[in-house]
Amino acid sequence: MPSQREHYHFVTGRLAEHALKSIVAPLAGEVDFDYSVQVLPITVAALMSPPWIAKRLEVPQHTTQVMIPGYCEGDLSSLESASPCPVLVGPRDLRQLPAFFQRPAPPTNYGEYDIEIIAEINNCPRIPLQEILSIAADYAGSGANVIDVGCEPGDPWMDVGEVVRALRDEGHRVSIDSLNPIEIALAVASGAELVLSVNSTNREAAIDWGVEVIATPDVPANLEGLDDTIDFLAKHGTRLRIDPILEPIAFGFANSLGRYLGVRHRYPDAELMMGVGNLTELTEVDSAGVNTLLLGFCQEQNIHSILTTEVINWARSSVRECDLARRLTHHAVSQRVLPKHVDSRLVMLRDSEIVESSPQELEELAASIRDNNYRVFASEGEVHLVGNGIHLHDADPFMVMEQLRQTQSKNKESNKITAGHAFYLGYEMCKALTALTLGKTYRQDEPLDWGFATRSENRHYLRPARNSTSESEGDSH
């Protein structure tokens, strides 16, 4: 028996009717579904609440799903009870409907990873214990698996054991970053499980520590001493990982990547580590892309641990970036798919796509608005302010506000804006200008999308309708 053809029943308000129908009509042909549109007696669809919709819902006979606007918040139970078929909450911006329908189903196992993040707290001897614990908690919350206690050259830091014990008491796994055997012994005795780093200068002491170590070359440029250290540690049964050392750009970066390839070829079954912070901390560029590329390299080469830190400001979220990048690259490599259209949280400066209304659509909107609310848009390099019979626009938000002032001066009956209202419009137009500058999508009363760094905002323009029998409008913003 053939399966039932999909029929979507779209619910909207009067203002969005034309735009919704113009988008759904071609989309239905592309995606192959039937549809119907119910226009409820309210101007702004986003002001509808589920109980309000439930009292007015009229579902055609062959409907398979009811779709309501994404702004409809709250408990859907009353609406689901009134509907003979499932209720689907659509995107907040109806211009996103094509992407909503055509997006692939999310992978069921997405989020798995096999790369361990070691997050270093640099210069620990200079930092108070409570601050170290606070940084460690932030690192762990961002995805770090191991907290690395970074020491300094010179005299041994005799308080290292106390710090390691405190970190262990907080539930952290701990590594020690030092070449000094005295510091390392104190840290290991207090619960450190990994030592960074071991070379010819301290490898003899390493056999007594009883923990895993990171084997490094004496001279990174030619890997001098690395094979001898690996052989020595293996002979004495010391567990190890190999770090050929990633070099900064202009100081052998490309060759150092080649050394990782060479070491992997010579030691196909060995565990490797990469210190990605040598690139993110020493390259003046936003770190998310750098971390993702390096994690992709590690994923392809079966490098199962990375060392990072967050000292320089442009790399202040590196731990979280590495956490997201290891999941993205694991999915890409294990499924043999490109690392795109799966997880957009690492797209921060720009957006994956820009969704904006055309000037013609904004003119049509201005002609159809009957309330006193102003709508802000970003389109074709300009900030637009649309209201009842008004469409003002300019590349400079200050000019838009001046146009609004002149319009109100000429029209004595127009709705005068208050100081608070003007502040709100200025704030929104600032966001719109930022979106235009960086290549992002602007939606009024919504935060700009900064990937995983996005901060939520309270809605000021749109207020949902209460469970009432009459149309409800929002504030006159």
Instruction: Read off the pLDDT of residues 42-52 as tens digits, 9 standing for 90 and up.
Output: 888 878 889 99
Mean pLDDT of 422-434: 96
More confident residue, 93 or 164: 164
* DSSP-derived 3-state class of residue 167: helix
87 lies in the same domain as 122? no
58 lies in the same domain as 151? no
pLDDT at 444: 92
* Number of independent structural domains in the chain: 3
Mean pLDDT of 194-221: 97
Kindly state whether residue 467 falls inside one of the protein's structural domains: no
Mean pLDDT of 196-214: 96
Query: Which of 301, 304, 262, 260 lies closest to 279 in space, CA to CA?
Result: 260
416 lies in the same domain as 443? yes
142 lies in the same domain as 228? yes
Res. 106 pLDDT band, cuts 50 70 90: low
- Express each pLDDT in 346-387 by its tens digit: 999 999 989 898 888 899 888 888 888 899 999 999 999 999
Mean pLDDT of 394-409: 93
Mean pLDDT of 275-304: 98
Query: Which of 384, 349, 352 lies closest to 365 in space, CA to CA?
Result: 384
pLDDT at 414: 65
- Burial pattern 67-92, b for ≥16 Cβ within 10 A else e, equals bbbbbbeeebebbeebbeeebebbbb
pLDDT at 460: 67
74 lies in the same domain as 145? no
User: Domain range holding 64?
Assistant: 7-102
Res. 475 pLDDT band, cuts 50 70 90: very low
Res. 471 pLDDT band, cuts 50 70 90: very low
353-359-360 Cα angle (round to 5) = 115
Kindly state whether residue 87 falls inside one of the protein's structural domains: yes
166 lies in the same domain as 270? yes
- Express each pLDDT in 237-265 by its tens digit: 999 999 999 999 999 999 999 999 999 99
pLDDT at 48: 87
Mean pLDDT of 222-233: 98
Please say whether the beta carbons of 464 and 424 come within 8 A.
Answer: no
Q: Among 74, 102, 130, where does a domain finish? A: 102
Please say whether the beta carbons of 471 and 80 come within 8 A.
Answer: no
Q: Among 319, 335, 351, where does a domain finish? A: 335
Query: Which of 27, 43, 45 lies closest to 35 in space, CA to CA?
Result: 27
259 lies in the same domain as 294? yes
CA distance 392 to 414: 15
Kindly state whether residue 386 falls inside one of the protein's structural domains: yes
Kindly state whether residue 315 falls inside one of the protein's structural domains: yes
CA distance 89 to 73: 9
Please say whether the beta carbons of 324 and 317 come within 8 A.
Answer: no
Mean pLDDT of 178-190: 96
Residues near 81 by Cβ (< 8 Å), separated by ≥ 6?
54
366 lies in the same domain as 243? no
CATH code where residue 208 lies: 3.20.20.20
pTM for the whole thing?
A: 0.84
Res. 94 pLDDT band, cuts 50 70 90: confident
Kindly state whether residue 441 falls inside one of the protein's structural domains: yes
Identity of the residue numbered 138: D
232 lies in the same domain as 133? yes
- Express each pLDDT in 121-162 by its tens digit: 999 999 999 999 999 999 999 999 999 999 999 899 999 999
Res. 472 pLDDT band, cuts 50 70 90: very low
329 lies in the same domain as 378? no
Res. 477 pLDDT band, cuts 50 70 90: very low
Res. 3 pLDDT band, cuts 50 70 90: low
CA distance 397 to 385: 9
- Give strand ranges (E) for 56-188: 65-68, 87-89, 116-121, 146-150, 173-177
Alpha helices in 46-96 (DSSP H): 50-54, 77-82
Sign of the torsion angle spanned by Cα atoms 71, 75, 77, 78: negative
96 lies in the same domain as 63? yes
Kindly state whether residue 475 falls inside one of the protein's structural domains: no
* DSSP-derived 3-state class of residue 290: helix
Res. 114 pLDDT band, cuts 50 70 90: very high
Q: Among 302, 335, 368, where does a domain finish? A: 335
Kindly state whether residue 96 falls inside one of the protein's structural domains: yes
Kindly state whether residue 471 falls inside one of the protein's structural domains: no
Mean pLDDT of 184-211: 97
150 lies in the same domain as 253? yes
- Express each pLDDT in 22-69 by its tens digit: 889 999 988 899 999 999 998 888 788 899 999 999 999 999 999 999
Please say whether the beta carbons of 291 and 321 come within 8 A.
Answer: yes
